[in-house]
Structure 1
Amino acid sequence: MPGKSKGRTTGIGYFEKHDLFSAIDFSIKEKKQEKIALLGWSMGASTALVAGCEHPNVSAIIADSPFSDLESYLRQNLSFWSKLPSRPFTPMIIYSMKKLLKIDSSDVSPMNIVKNAIGKSFLLIHSKSDEAIPYLESEKIYQEISSGHHKELWLTENAEHINSYLVFKEEYERRVLTFLNEHFM
C-alpha cells in the first residue's frame, strides 16, 4: 500500500505509515543506509512511532508532540481540529472515516505499538502548554515503553503545539544531537 496518501485528505497516520515505510526502504536500498533514525512532529510523530517500531532498520525515534492512541485522542479532541461541537459531530466523523476512507483508527496506536518494539531508542518531546495534543499523550506512550529500551521524555513549558523547537532552539538541538550520538551512531 505504499503511496496511499494523496495529499488532499489526511489518514491521520493510517495511510502515512505506508509512505514512511517507502521512504525508509528507499533510504536502505537507494542510499545504502543500514540504520535509520526518525524525527516527527504531531501526527508525524505518531506515524514515526508506529512505522519505526514496526520497521526492523529503524533504531531511534524522536517524537515531538504525538498522540498516544488515535481512537481515544479523536474522541476527546477532534472538536479542537474540526471546530465543530463534539456532539453530534465527533462520532459522525469517526464513523465516516471508517466507512468512507476505510481508516481503522484502532490501527494507529503508538502506545500499543511501543510495547512490542525490539531494539529501539526513544526521545519524546512535548510542551505542557500544548492545547492541540495534551502532553499527557506523550506520558502515556513513555509509560508503555518497556524498561529494556532507552527512553527519554522531555516536557517543556510555555510552547504551543510543536513549538518547543522555536522556544528552546539551543536546548532542543543539544538534546536531539546528544540522543542521536548516544543511541544511534
Structure 2
Amino acid sequence: MKKILSLFIIILTFFLLGAGYFFSSSIVSFPITTLEEDKTKLNINSVVEFGLPEPESIRFQNGILRLRGWYFKNPKRKKCGVVLLHGHKRTRYGVLKYAPLFWKQGCSLFMYDARHHGESAGEYGTYGFYEKSDLERAIEFFSEISTVPEEKIGIFGASFGAATALQYAEGRNDFAFVIADSPYMDMRSIVEKRAVDLYSPLILFLSPIALSIAEIRADFLVDEVSPKKAAKYIFQPVLLIHSNSDEITPVSHSEEIFQNLKSNRKQLFITDWGASHCKSIDTRYKEYESIVNSFLKENTTFLK
C-alpha cells in the first residue's frame, strides 16, 4: 500500500510540475504577435490614417536587450514629448489610435515594442517587472534624440502598458505625467482572472505552481509586479481611465490603484459608454480627448 501511495504521489507531483510548466509558458513565454499580424488584425493600412508622417524607425539598447520602435518628430518643435506603451501581446500599432491626442498638441512621439513583443528582443515578458527599466531607457533615448527634457515627457499606457507606466513612476519625478488606460492592479490577480476566464476556477489550483515556475524561468518576483503598491509612491500627475464594462480587466483594478495614489494631482474617469477593454477611445473619441486635455491643462504644465 505504501509503494502504491508513494508511486501515486510521484506521478501526481510530476503531473503538477508538468502542467505548471505548461501554464507558466502561457504567462511569460507566450507567442509573439508580429508587426504585420498586428497591423492586419487592427485593420491599419498606414500611420497616415492617424494624421502622422512616416516615422523614423529606431532601435535602442537596455543593457544587452535590443528594443525597436518609432520616433515621430513633430514639425511644431514644441518642447514636449509622449511615450506610448501598448498592451499585452500587441505591438506599437496598438497605440497609434492614441497618438493624435498628443500630436495635435505639437508634441513629438515615441513608441516601441515591449520586450518579448513585436520586433523587440527578450525571451520572456514580465508584466512590468523588467519593462519599467526598459521604459526608463526609452525615455532617456527619446530625450537624447528629440532634445525634449525628460521632465517634459509624458507617458501614456494601455492595459499592460498602463501597468508598466505606473510601476515606472514609483518614487520618480523626472517625467511629466502618466495617463493609464485600463491598468491591472497586480500580476497575480490579473493572471488568475484571465486563467479562470479561459479555463475554469479549477485552474486556480495550478496557478501558484505555474507562477512560481514562471518566476524561476524569467528570474523575477510576481508579487513585486504591482501598480497598486507602486501607487503609494507616485507623486506626479496621474489620470486613470477605465470602462465600467471592461470584460478583461475589471474597473475595480483602477479604483484600487486610485485609492493608493499619493499624488494630489490625480483623476479617475470611469466611462459608462459600453466600451470593452481599452475601447473607450474608439467608442467616443471626442469625449475621451476632452478628458485627456482637461487633465493636462488642470494638473500639469506640460503644454505651457
Q: How high is the TM-score relative to the length of structure 2?
A: 0.55
Q: Distance in 1 between matches of 2:204 and 2:190?
A: 15
The structural deviation recorded for 1:72 is 3.2
Work out the CA distance in 1 between the residues paired with 2:196 and 2:139.
32
**CA-to-partner distance for each residue in 1:20-52, whole Å, 9 max, x for gaps?**
111111122232222221110101000011113
| Structure 1 runs of 4+ with >6 Å offset | none
CA separation in 2, counterparts of 1:89 and 1:12? 19
Given the alignment of the two structures, is residue 31 of structure 1 paired with residue 131 of structure 2, yes or no?
no
Deviation for aligned residue 1:166: 0.6
What code does the residue aligned with 1:103 have? F
- Greater alpha carbon shift after TM alignment, 63-72 vs 134-143: 63-72
- 1:16 is aligned to 131
Deviations along 1:82-130, one digit per CA (max 9) or x if unpaired, are x233233322321221111113122221121121123x10110001111
2:292 corresponds to 1:176: yes
The answer to whether the aligner puts 1:152 opposite 2:272 as a matched pair is: no
Equivalence map 1:1-185=2 (5 Å): 2=62, 3=65, 5-7=115-117, 9-34=124-149, 35-75=152-192, 77-80=193-196, 83-85=198-200, 86-118=203-235, 120-146=236-262, 148-157=263-272, 158-182=274-298, 183=300, 184-185=302-303
CA contact (8 A) 1:123 1:179 kept: yes
Q: TM-score of the superposition, structure 1-length normalised?
A: 0.87
AA aligned opposite 1:69:
D
Q: From the CA coordinates, give the structure whose radius of gyration is larger.
A: 2
How many angstroms apart in 2 are the aligned matches of 1:168 and 1:90?
37
Distance in 2 between the 1:78 and 1:94 partners?
13
Is the CA contact 1:21–1:55 (under 8 Å) kept in the aligned structure 2?
A: no
Query: Displacement, 1:13?
Result: 1.6
Shift of 1:80: 5.0
Following the alignment from structure 1 to structure 2, what is the Cα–Cα distance between the partners of residues 80 and 52? 30
In the aligned structure 1, how far is the partner of 2:219 from the partner of 2:134?
17
RMSD: 2.1
C-alpha deviation, 1:57, in angstroms: 1.6
Please give the alpha-carbon distance, in whole angstroms, between the structure 2 residues aligned to 1:94 and 1:130: 25
Deviation by residue 1:124-150 (Cα, 9 ceiling, x = unmatched):
00011111110000000110112x521
Q: More relative contact order in 1 or in 2 (CA 8 Å, sep 6+)?
A: 1
Residues 80, 132 of structure 1: 8 Å contact kept: no
* Unpaired stretches in structure 1, ≥5 consecutive residues: none
Deviation at 1:55, TM superposition (A): 4.0
Q: What is the one-letter code of the residue matched to 1:152?
A: Q
Q: Give the Cα–Cα distance (whole angstroms) in 2 for the partners of residues 32 and 94 of structure 1.
A: 41
Aligned length: 181
Counting aligned pairs with the same residue, the percent is: 31
The residue type equivalent to 1:164 in the other structure is: S
